[in-house]
Chains A and B, each alone.
Chain A
């Protein structure tokens, strides 16, 4: 089972792109488990541990890149100390999946270049225009 976790705030403009893409993929990837959340929390370690492959989708600031540009990177476990409560990173979640449930799948982080994180419940025009292409690319990558 592939797991897709899209995350970000729905009221901070382009930060919503992770959730928007995840929700759109729900229709396109019927055999995947889709989770759309405001922020990553430790409880996600459990579904993560059950996945064969996992994909996190988030908005990102990338100077010089056009809104909608996609970057894909492998997520490695992060075993550094520190608090682990209501706001965690994909790397910490992956570690939690391994430590708590004995299994951590190959995981990739898909970041989508954003333009504006100002308070708004819609995407910026530039990212909105790029959304169809973003969806196609994200879907293709997850299907690989």
Chain B
């Protein structure tokens, strides 16, 4: 008798999703799928709106990474204007993006995944949260809160608001950086670097406890995609697209981000509202790839900052296939963000008053691409002669990872789930592999809400034969 295990909704991710695990007569996993059950309406909502409203509108997609959407959207609008924004404005946007990535990664690592890492995959679900961490390792919990606080402070200092800032506009930013604010940002960076280094030391120490999960999360072999700078270094704001194969050999390089539609296709599957992007030359589904911290660090020559590069050396000794190492990659990127912000704040033009280029629309089509915390983010707009949006298409980082998440669920379920032994811990491992990707389903489809876990074991006749709720 075949059975289906349903994990609905998946917990400790941003948004709604469920997992179904189909068992065969022997109680072994036959197949599994990751379903995104929300509908995103933003691409339709914005039709008919003036293009210059887009950065403000698009940043409303998400309360976690509004800055990422703000930046990709503003870059698409820059392309509509056909302007090259002033160097100071580009660097200020870079700093904002890096602060956003740092605080988002801190939320993912400390709030959402650290409960599993510190307390164990089999710990009481009621304890697997920030409060559980606080009781066992209060400094770790405080460090997570502090890192988030610092990232948000930097965003607020630059843009005036922590969430949904309107400072980034088509053509640049609407206010120059003052000396006072620059010094205030510089003052917190070394503390941030110290916190991340302390956390990495702790995390290295517990990696051995997770050898089974590292191996299980390694069964998936995919391509890796991300932006890199001209010299192949880590690049979060500009750069060109690089794609490497599963063994990290570069198979495509120097691809123009604005041509993304020519090498990335989008498939639709009936079980999910989230599209499944793939690398066109390899077709669907062979063109499955991963984006985000693991992919970025797998494709770069170096990070370009000293502490992050030192850690990159250790990262390269780890199994680069394993999605488990998204966690370590995320910590390296936080380190990189603080170091890079420091470098950028010391550039000679950073306090320049020239921070915005003005123009009327010169193109009917504009594409903006940047790296968001979860991976490459693309906004593509088409406008009419009056500057009103005719069509908008967003390819979101979480969407890029959709196929990889779907197949990861299958790989991990096959390893840990046995129908006759439905246990909380093994189901949490299936969820945990999804959490390594840090999916933001609010971004990829748009919705928010509470996420209790509901697991059902359903017989072919539809009757529920077993159930777990939390």
Q: Which residues of A contact B (CB under 8 A)?
A: 37-39, 41-43, 45-46, 79-87, 95-96, 99-101
What separation, in Å, do the CA atoms of A48 and B145 have in the docked complex? 13
Closest Cβ of chain A to B298, distance in Å, is 27
Please tell me if the beta carbons of B145 and A82 are within 8 angstroms of each other in the complex: no
Most B CB contacts (10 A, CB to CB) among A41, A45, A82, A85 go to A85
Please tell me if the beta carbons of B149 and A43 are within 8 angstroms of each other in the complex: yes
Q: Is B351 interfacial (CB-CB < 8 Å)?
A: no
What separation, in Å, do the CA atoms of A81 and B126 have in the docked complex? 5
Q: Nearest B residue to A83 by beta-carbon distance?
A: B12
Please tell me if the beta carbons of A86 and B107 are within 8 angstroms of each other in the complex: yes
A-B contact pairs, 22 of them (CB 8 A): A37-B162, A38-B63, A41-B148, A41-B162, A42-B130, A42-B145, A43-B145, A46-B146, A81-B125, A81-B127, A82-B129, A82-B450, A83-B12, A83-B111, A84-B111, A85-B107, A85-B112, A96-B134, A99-B134, A99-B138, A100-B141, A100-B142
Q: Which residues of B contact A43 (CB under 8 A)?
A: 145, 148-149, 152
Q: Is B358 interfacial (CB-CB < 8 Å)?
A: no
List 6 tightest A-B contacts by C-beta distance, closest first.
Answer: A81-B126, A43-B149, A99-B134, A84-B130, A38-B163, A85-B111
Closest Cβ of chain B to A134, distance in Å, is 24
Q: Which residues of B contact A96 (CB under 8 A)?
A: 130-131, 134, 145
Please tell me if the beta carbons of A84 and B107 are within 8 angstroms of each other in the complex: no
Q: Is B434 interfacial (CB-CB < 8 Å)?
A: no
Contact (A100, B149) CB under 8 Å given A81-B125, A84-B111, A87-B448? no
Could you give, for residues 134-174 of chain B, a 1 whenever the CB lies within 8 Å of some chain A CB and a 0 otherwise? 11001001100110110010000000001110000000000
Please tell me if the beta carbons of B148 and A42 are within 8 angstroms of each other in the complex: yes
Please tell me if the beta carbons of B125 and A86 are within 8 angstroms of each other in the complex: no
Q: Is B11 interfacial (CB-CB < 8 Å)?
A: yes
Closest Cβ of chain A to B153, distance in Å, is 9
Closest Cβ of chain B to A90, distance in Å, is 16
Please tell me if the beta carbons of A38 and B134 are within 8 angstroms of each other in the complex: no
Please tell me if the beta carbons of A84 and B131 are within 8 angstroms of each other in the complex: yes
Contact (A83, B11) CB under 8 Å given A42-B145, A99-B135? yes
Please tell me if the beta carbons of A46 and B134 are within 8 angstroms of each other in the complex: no
Could you give, for residues 437-470 of chain B, a 1 whenever the CB lies within 8 Å of some chain A CB and a 0 otherwise? 0000000000010111000000000000000001
Please tell me if the beta carbons of B129 and A83 are within 8 angstroms of each other in the complex: yes
What separation, in Å, do the CA atoms of A79 and B131 have in the docked complex? 8
Q: Nearest B residue to A85 by beta-carbon distance?
A: B111
Contact (A86, B64) CB under 8 Å given A38-B164, A42-B148? yes
Q: Is B14 interfacial (CB-CB < 8 Å)?
A: yes
Please tell me if the beta carbons of A99 and B131 are within 8 angstroms of each other in the complex: yes
Q: Which residues of A contact B452 (CB under 8 A)?
A: 82
Q: Nearest A residue to B127 by beta-carbon distance?
A: A81
Q: Which residues of B contact A42 (CB under 8 A)?
A: 111, 130, 145, 148
**Looking at the complex, which one of A41, A45, A87, A100 makes contact with B138 (CB distance below 8 Å)?**
A100
Please tell me if the beta carbons of A84 and B129 are within 8 angstroms of each other in the complex: yes
Q: Which residues of B contact A86 (CB under 8 A)?
A: 14, 63-64, 107
Q: Which residues of B contact A39 (CB under 8 A)?
A: 63, 163
What separation, in Å, do the CA atoms of A100 and B148 have in the docked complex? 14
